[in-house]
Chain A
Amino acid sequence: MKSLGNVRRSFTPWADGSAKPYIAFENVTKRFGDFTAVDNLTMHVYEREFFSLLGPSGCGKTTLLRMLAGFEEPTSGDIFLDGQPLKGVPPHKRAVNMMFQSYALFPHLNVADNIAFGLRQEGMEKGAVAERVDQMLKLVKLEQFARRKPHQLSGGQRQRVALARSVAKRPKLLLLDEPLGALDKKLREETQFELMDLQEQLGLTFMIVTHDQEEAMTMSDRIAVMDAGTVVQTGTPGEIYEAPNTRYVADFIGNVNMFEGRITAVENGLAEMEASDGFGIRAVAQPGVDAGKHAWFAIRPEKVDVTRTKPEQDHNAVEGEVWDIAYLGGLTVFNVRLDSGAVIKATVLNSERAVEDPIGYEERVWLSFDPDCGILLER
């Protein structure tokens, strides 16, 4: 397995103003009839990047991939691949391979022939084809199934054949539409690492659609969170999680508590907010946060402390009653009901949780957090 740390940390072409994007969507709009599937979208992806598209069903992820692969033409706007405009270039002339969400395996060919299809198409010689097919079968752990026809495979096995077939040609750009959705957790994690390995070894660019945010977090250099045909935020997994730019993104990735309120003052980079739940919040004020504005304070459950005694600070602390306790192995999740009726989540690591006399159901507790633990959002 690869050393995730050091290689990745230095890989930030998007931060380098002079770097040339490998894929560039420029003001791309795609309409089906009068329905807008992709809405004036601009997005840049860099060479060798592992880029994830995340978003609810129907937000246009597959449509984006299909435009890159050449099965749909944008209604307006341009797409560039390695600086070249893609307009009018037929799918077979694009150095792009796609794994289809529906797999699209050839029913008349067995697993090995399905994987070999693209290799034979490009005229690779026989021995090399066999070697590559073996390698791919090994990657997806289907060595014993080479002679089976697609209809003799399980859903997860079919998905792996589709994955192997799209990777086999080692395209410069690989588009994966929910490549691991049908696999069990263990196989999925193994395949994730294999894919990351392959991507890095061969220096490929991956664009992947997934519904699994944890998967996106683990694998990606950057994630684009989409909503209704637009990209709401693009950033590294850390940025997306720690500094979401909207409530939508904060809510979409992971768990989050949201406090609504009005900013009363901004001083020394700190904003004071009067939360509608009846307590004062002090938080780091990003540029644009001004007194008098309506805002939301978002904080992750693991950043909220749970104590029996009232904390010393008079802001960022609120009292409530333990409503529910969920034990999740490594963590315990407390659902605490505030007097306003809102239910707030707080997670506590079990290694830090008091073993003797733990906090129990229906106990009155105090929730508190530091000013830099959450983020103020304007929309």
Chain B
Amino acid sequence: MNLFRRLTILVPYLWLLALFLLPFLIVFRISLSEPVLAMPPYAPQFDIGEGWAALRESLSQLSFANYVWLTEDALYRNAYFSSLRIALVSTFLTLLIGFPLAYGMARASEGLRPILLMLVILPFWTSFLIRVYAWIGILKPEGLLNQFLMSFGLIGEPLTILNTDTAVYIGIVYSYLPFMVLPIYATLEKMDYSLIEAAQDLGCTALGAFWKVTARLALPGVLAGCLLVFIPAVGEFVIPDLLGGSDTLMIGKTLWTEFFNNRDWPVASAVAIILLILLVVPIVLFQNAQARAQESGS
């Protein structure tokens, strides 16, 4: 094999090594340490200069105590579960809104499609943080939404949405909608519409043809969209922090508190590692399944 090809293949591996594996190892190592009041705030420190014996001594001080601690305190378990639940529900809601949007875009006239695509991407021109802040203005008791509803007499007094889980759902669905719409749109757009006609011709109702053909062919896009929403949503920090209430428990917020408020880097690192494992394992399984499906000729 020629050298150039080997080198090109090497680039992504180096990238992964530098930007994923090394940071992962550093965080993992911190998660095995103990918090101390120092800078950096964990022990032991490795110092090659002090020789082998000292290094071995330091290594022996590493322990999984932080992980044991995470399993013992219900707070962390609840935070993980609640994060997964919130991410799952928001992913579902995003799919519910995103699929019809993507379908409508894919069925729009050819001239209109680039404009619609542009509209979906447009929010990215504004900072994510600012957009989430804007929702505070909309959702707060005297905010736009409540004013609007009350001026039409639909509600008598302001709804409490801000600082509840509902606000978090709204925030996540709003922020991650493009990540759901785009992959689904991509699969639907290249679908041959005569397939639907063929299904109807062979005895399917319009709805049956939708399930058996459209939905089935959009499946890869739906799965990709769901992963793109679910994964960042699990670790989401900004949205629950700004829109959620004090009882909105999410692992991103817990991690933040451990790291910045408690300055307990080792526990924060352990929280991060477990989160990573929770997310990576299903992704790998999913990718394997997809590769197998591809092989059998999809």
Contact = CB atoms under 8 A, between A and B. Distances in A.
Interface string B180-206: 000000000000101101111111111
B43 interface: no
B71 interface: no
B192 A97 contact: no
A118 B194 contact: no
Given A102-B194, A104-B194, A149-B297, A97 B201 contact: yes
Contacts of A108: 216-217, 298
A97 B200 CA distance: 10
Interface residues of B, number: 19
Nearest to A108: B216
Interface in A89-127: 90-92, 96-98, 100, 102, 104-108, 110, 117-118, 121-122
A286 interface: no
Contact of B203 (A69, A92, A98, A148): A92
A70 B197 CA distance: 9
A104 B203 contact: no
A169 B298 contact: no
A32 to B, nearest CB: 14
B213 interface: yes
Nearest to B194: A104
Contact of B197 (A104, A122, A149, A169): A104
A342 B36 CA distance: 107
B200 A100 contact: no
A71 interface: yes
A71 B197 contact: yes
A362 to B, nearest CB: 55
B198 A121 contact: no
Nearest to B196: A104
A107 B218 CA distance: 12
A69 B192 contact: no
Interface in A243-265: none
Nearest to A98: B201
A118 to B, nearest CB: 3
A377 B216 CA distance: 57
Contacts of B198: 100, 104-106, 165
A197 B205 CA distance: 32
Contacts of A117: 199, 202
A152 interface: yes
Given A108-B217, A149-B298, A152-B297, A118 B202 contact: yes
A93 B201 CA distance: 9
A98 B203 CA distance: 11
A100 B193 CA distance: 12
A210 B120 CA distance: 45
Contacts of B203: 92, 118, 121-122, 169
A102 B202 CA distance: 16
Contacts of A151: 297
B192 A104 contact: yes
Given A91-B200, A92-B200, A106 B195 contact: yes
Nearest to B203: A121
B298 A92 contact: no
B284 to A, nearest CB: 24
Given A100-B194, A100-B197, A169 B297 contact: no
B205 to A, nearest CB: 6
Nearest to B293: A108
Interface of A: 69-71, 90-92, 96-98, 100, 102, 104-108, 110, 117-118, 121-122, 148-149, 151-152, 165-166, 169
8 contacts: A90-B205, A91-B201, A92-B203, A92-B205, A100-B198, A102-B194, A108-B298, A121-B208
Given A90-B206, A102-B192, A118-B201, 14 more contacts: A71-B201, A90-B205, A92-B202, A92-B208, A96-B201, A98-B201, A104-B192, A108-B298, A117-B199, A149-B297, A149-B298, A165-B198, A165-B202, A166-B201
